[in-house]
Amino acid sequence: MTAPRRIVVGISGASGAVYGVALLRALRAMAGIESHLVVSDAGWLNIAHETELARPDVEALADVVHDNAAIGASIASGSFGAQGMVVAPCSMRTLAAIAHGLSDSLLTRAADVMLKERRRLVLLARESPLHLVHLRNMVTVTEMGAIVCPPMPAFYQRPRTVDDIVQHGVARTLDLLGLDNDLAPRWPGLPQKS
């Protein structure tokens, strides 16, 4: 029997909690995936404010839920063997902590583990506009091996709903993790002129 591929999902305190929730739903629907959830205190506040979901509803979407204060949890170690991690959304505070190696919570420690183990770390950085420190932190994590993937809509797909936009962002995130999905249509290319 093949062991499940483990994906860590972090939700921090930026607007866009719907991305983390939609990612958990997508992972739940995939065979052979084991999702591990860790949410910051501000992340829980945003989930409550931006969605109609209660904490138990969100926790039920993950295979394993970790307390952000439990710095000794399994996902805090490189020996845990997660395939990758996504922070969706990634606040500028969380980005700064990751960029500077401040493993002051389980979420930032798990991200630090992904970097030191050279595993995939995808950060759905959410802030606008950006000032110079935000940009420098994005450069720093990129140089360390993370992928900064702001959840920007792709209008070439002609989204009709907010859910269309979110699903496209989640599809791109899953692509970055190497997980096949059909959540959003693929770019077919422009018709060739005859």
Reduced to 3 states (helix: H, G, I; strand: E, B; else coil), residue 113 is helix
Q: Is pLDDT above 80 for 135? A: yes
Q: Is pLDDT above 90 for 189? A: no
Helices then strands (H, E): number in the chain?
A: 7, 6
Residues 63 and 118: their CA atoms lie apart, in Å, by 24
Residues near 61 by beta carbon (within 8 Å), at least 6 away in sequence: 21, 24, 25, 28, 35, 37
Q: What is the mean pLDDT of residues 62-81?
A: 97
1 pLDDT band (50/70/90 cuts)?
Answer: low
DSSP state for residue 190 in the 8-state scheme: P
136 pLDDT band (50/70/90 cuts)?
Answer: very high
Residues near 115 by beta carbon (within 8 Å), at least 6 away in sequence: 98, 121, 141, 144, 145, 146
Q: What is the pLDDT of residues 96-105, one digit of tens each?
A: 999 999 999 9
Q: How far is CA 184 from CA 111, 154, 158, in A?
A: 27, 11, 11
Residues 66 and 43: their CA atoms lie apart, in Å, by 13
* Dihedral sign (CA 9, 35, 178, 180): negative
Amino acid present at 79: S
Q: Name beta bridge partners: 38.
A: 10, 66
Show the tokens assigned to 180.
Answer: 């096949």
Residue matched to tokens 């969706």: 88
194 pLDDT band (50/70/90 cuts)?
Answer: confident
